[in-house]
Chain A
């Protein structure tokens, strides 16, 4: 193959299925969490963390980023971080965070 895998690894079908299972479970947890009253004060950070975890799992395993050259990670994660920062800045400037928790 022409790309440069790290440590010569390549995930097995088993790995993929396990990742899919985790994604399913986390999704179920996410949906469940919003119905639990006791968690209401921390529901937003909880949801953000869970969706970030799913995001990472898909990127690292399904998109193979864990096994790829660091160049590709940089090409994707750099803009991802910058875009997230800009999104937060945009929301702050337009007063979005004053509305959250209404």
Chain B
């Protein structure tokens, strides 16, 4: 295959060193790496380990169900198995696999040298690892969660499930959420702000577009479930009433919050695979993606409308005919852009010259299998039909067709496609095709019969079934198929091992590729590209090799190459978070240690490059500073966080079974004063920023300190208010109003406190003369955060205190 560009310049391919890093591959270098390629590999390997664990759990499940009345595992163990299997596969396998490709490939695809925030990137990985280890520590403790990966309240209450299993589960999910959201912000800024010159948004590869949509989904969908989990955590640890039916709670609330996250989550799981297929098919058909703009728009539409269909998971819960109909129609509408993609992929292959590599096998497999999974999904979109199918093996079949036939097949396609780039070796094609057929056959044998089982009335999440139900043959076949999948996975491991030991060396461009990653060596050097590649249009590299080129290539950049330096603070911060979580399960003093450790790590991370000259100007392609853009994305995510809290407060308003009611206890005159105080603090903040921007150090110190003081005053008022309420017997355990009020305003107050700490830190820097004009953007983003917290209070003041 070609490995030279059209000007004849040969792209060098060093001997295969994993990730091609210049520094020696020591353990320490892996612990402190901030290189997106290494982080990608970390995600991939770690994800694979968890994937094997989840697969083992699946095999145990299938062994138990192979015959009726089986005794391989107890009922309790079985319930833990399917809980762990689901949670592991979604959060610890598929999402990290997706992250592996985001990390390794996206910067290369857009012609960048790394992501916008390399240390935060590493941080995301280490926090993910902490969360994954915490969840599986529950196995070691002998108390795994056993309430299903979806943990419906009120089964998850301390009353019905007293042990620590659910606590392990909710704490690790919270940690994993933090990891994902940090990474989402990072990639949004990277994709928007770090594209190579000439790479307009519409010239970006479809995989990058799908990644971008997924990051927005993550940033916006995780806050609602974070809130739902906070409610559960407070109920279980502190006795609040969020899911307490006797106190007037609505058990639909958990389901709504869970699925407002859960439905976008399934698009988070599948869109990357769609992106991979959109790269693999054109490459091996030697044709452009058919209707690339439409494929892009449909991905965006799916992402957006994905927020409007969540209650199709709740058709059996009695939402009423109007809600059922609305969500049914919305769900069917989403099927349209999804179907369109299938046709675009078919049209991409049609008329092409198709090279049937293993990557192509898996991509084609996805097209076929996802069609089946998508169609069973369309069946579920009709509530009457869904009422027979939901909570049965029919939907188990559906979800595995889309998650294995869709996501996993897409990921295997990506693995075979990008393996040469990442390792400098080729995976065996012959073994690869065998592996494909084994997994394809095993998968269909495992899951196609489950449609029939569901149609025959077999419910899901049952550890056994009677011999006279007529479900035996289907279950046995399914179990056999599951082991087939296992064999297929083993074959992949063999292929990977052989490739790393003695695989054929891969050139830079083994597939005659269309996109920029093939323009650098396999694997790339630490700095990815010797020079930032020219962009000639969509499928830029193909155009460079074979034409037609659009637009003259820009002159090579002469800016000095900056390779991000390693850092040990990401590991330290993740460790602190892990310690805090362990403390939540053991003793509060350990929580305190963990929190302090985390804060210390964050401060050190923030100051690590305070003086580094290369970090002073972080302006990107859109003319915006990376950090400023990141803060605005974060604030968008916070809109979802506080929006969920406020919505819950209002949804529960007037439903408390016992008093007091808001108008009986809220002190409006006093709160008016604290509101005024917070508003004025925003004024002081803008004065502080203006002072820093014009280099007025004295005023900068004055206004920064003033803002912090006003913030402390606000917190003082809040402390007074809380204490007063508790004295009057109004606590967060008292009633629904207490729970929603204290958690909402308490979390807001926590945000204020963090802001105060941030401002005081900046003030200290200013005192030491280390806050100059060049540091204005740091004050600016602190200001944006501060004003947002103020703005949230404006909403809370009106909606909680003033509205009758």
Chains A and B directly touch (beta carbon < 8 Å) = yes
A36 at the B interface (CB under 8 A): no
- B680 and A20 contact, CB distance less than 8 A: yes
Chain A residue nearest to B252 (CB atoms) is A94
Known contacts A20-B679, A47-B802, A58-B790, A79 near B687 by CB under 8 Å = no
Chain A positions within 8 Å of B783 at CB level = 62-63
- A55 and B795 contact, CB distance less than 8 A: yes
**Cβ 8 A contact of A99, one of B253, B633, B644, B653:** B653
**Cβ 8 A contact of B647, one of A17, A31, A44, A91:** A91
Interface residues of B in 642-667 (CB under 8 A from A): 643-644, 646-648, 650-651, 653-655
**Cβ 8 A contact of B622, one of A23, A71, A95, A99:** A71
Chain B positions within 8 Å of A2 at CB level = 617, 619, 623-625, 777
Cα distance A47–B686 when bound, in Å? 26
B668 at the A interface (CB under 8 A): yes
- B311 and A93 contact, CB distance less than 8 A: yes
A37 to chain B minimum Cβ distance, whole angstroms, is 12
Chain B positions within 8 Å of A91 at CB level = 647, 650-651
Known contacts A51-B795, A93-B256, A27 near B679 by CB under 8 Å = yes
Interface residues of B in 119-178 (CB under 8 A from A): none
- B651 and A90 contact, CB distance less than 8 A: yes
Known contacts A20-B683, A23-B679, A72 near B647 by CB under 8 Å = no
A7 at the B interface (CB under 8 A): no
- A99 and B676 contact, CB distance less than 8 A: no
Cα distance A3–B682 when bound, in Å? 21
- B256 and A90 contact, CB distance less than 8 A: yes
- A58 and B256 contact, CB distance less than 8 A: no
- A78 and B636 contact, CB distance less than 8 A: yes
- B683 and A79 contact, CB distance less than 8 A: no
- A69 and B622 contact, CB distance less than 8 A: yes
- B256 and A3 contact, CB distance less than 8 A: no
Cα distance A64–B224 when bound, in Å? 28
**Cβ 8 A contact of B624, one of A62, A72, A83, A96:** A72
A6 to chain B minimum Cβ distance, whole angstroms, is 12
- B252 and A93 contact, CB distance less than 8 A: yes
Cα distance A57–B681 when bound, in Å? 15
Cα distance A21–B206 when bound, in Å? 49
Tell me the dominant secondary structure on chain B's binding face.
helix
- Using an 8 Å CB-CB cutoff, how does the interface string of B755-785 with A read, 1 for contact, 0 for none? 0000000000000000000000100000110
Cα distance A101–B311 when bound, in Å? 27
Chain A positions within 8 Å of B307 at CB level = 82, 86
B794 at the A interface (CB under 8 A): yes
Interface residues of B in 216-249 (CB under 8 A from A): 219-220, 224
- A4 and B623 contact, CB distance less than 8 A: yes
Chain B positions within 8 Å of A100 at CB level = 653
- B802 and A59 contact, CB distance less than 8 A: no
What number of B residues sit within 8 Å (CB to CB) of A? 67
**Cβ 8 A contact of A30, one of B636, B643, B802:** B802
B513 to chain A minimum Cβ distance, whole angstroms, is 30
B803 at the A interface (CB under 8 A): yes
Cα distance A59–B623 when bound, in Å? 20
B250 at the A interface (CB under 8 A): yes
Interface residues of A in 8-23 (CB under 8 A from B): 13, 16-17, 19-20, 23
- A69 and B653 contact, CB distance less than 8 A: no
B797 at the A interface (CB under 8 A): yes
B192 at the A interface (CB under 8 A): yes
Cα distance A15–B124 when bound, in Å? 40
Chain B positions within 8 Å of A4 at CB level = 623-624
Known contacts A20-B680, A71-B624, A87-B647, A50 near B798 by CB under 8 Å = yes
**Cβ 8 A contact of A82, one of B220, B633, B650, B683:** B220
B239 to chain A minimum Cβ distance, whole angstroms, is 22
**Cβ 8 A contact of B654, one of A27, A61, A102:** A102
- B675 and A27 contact, CB distance less than 8 A: yes
**Cβ 8 A contact of B253, one of A40, A51, A94:** A94
A20 to chain B minimum Cβ distance, whole angstroms, is 4
B494 at the A interface (CB under 8 A): no
B639 to chain A minimum Cβ distance, whole angstroms, is 4
**Cβ 8 A contact of A58, one of B644, B682, B797, B802:** B682
Known contacts A83-B639, A86-B307, A34 near B802 by CB under 8 Å = yes
Cα distance A71–B311 when bound, in Å? 31
- A62 and B682 contact, CB distance less than 8 A: yes
B563 to chain A minimum Cβ distance, whole angstroms, is 22
Chain A positions within 8 Å of B794 at CB level = 51, 54-55, 58
**Cβ 8 A contact of A51, one of B635, B654, B797:** B797
A91 to chain B minimum Cβ distance, whole angstroms, is 5
A54 to chain B minimum Cβ distance, whole angstroms, is 5
B685 at the A interface (CB under 8 A): yes
Chain A positions within 8 Å of B799 at CB level = 51
- B623 and A75 contact, CB distance less than 8 A: no
- A62 and B787 contact, CB distance less than 8 A: yes
A90 to chain B minimum Cβ distance, whole angstroms, is 5
- A13 and B690 contact, CB distance less than 8 A: yes
- B676 and A79 contact, CB distance less than 8 A: no
Cα distance A62–B224 when bound, in Å? 27
- Using an 8 Å CB-CB cutoff, how does the interface string of B55-97 with A read, 1 for contact, 0 for none? 0000000000000000000000000000000000000000000
- 26 A-B contacts (beta carbon < 8 Å): A3-B623, A13-B687, A16-B686, A20-B682, A23-B679, A24-B676, A27-B679, A27-B797, A34-B802, A40-B804, A47-B803, A51-B795, A58-B791, A62-B787, A63-B788, A69-B623, A72-B629, A75-B629, A75-B632, A86-B640, A87-B644, A88-B647, A93-B256, A94-B256, A95-B250, A96-B650
Q: Apart from A55-B795, A69-B624, what 14 extra A-B contacts exist at CB < 8 Å?
A: A3-B628, A13-B690, A24-B679, A30-B802, A31-B802, A51-B798, A72-B624, A75-B632, A76-B635, A82-B307, A86-B307, A87-B650, A91-B651, A99-B655
Partner-A contacts on B (CB < 8 A): 188, 192, 219-220, 224, 250, 252-253, 256, 260, 304, 307, 311, 319, 323, 617, 619, 622-625, 628-629, 632-633, 635-637, 639-640, 643-644, 646-648, 650-651, 653-655, 668, 672, 675-676, 679-680, 682-683, 685-687, 690, 777, 783-784, 787-788, 790-791, 794-795, 797-799, 802-804
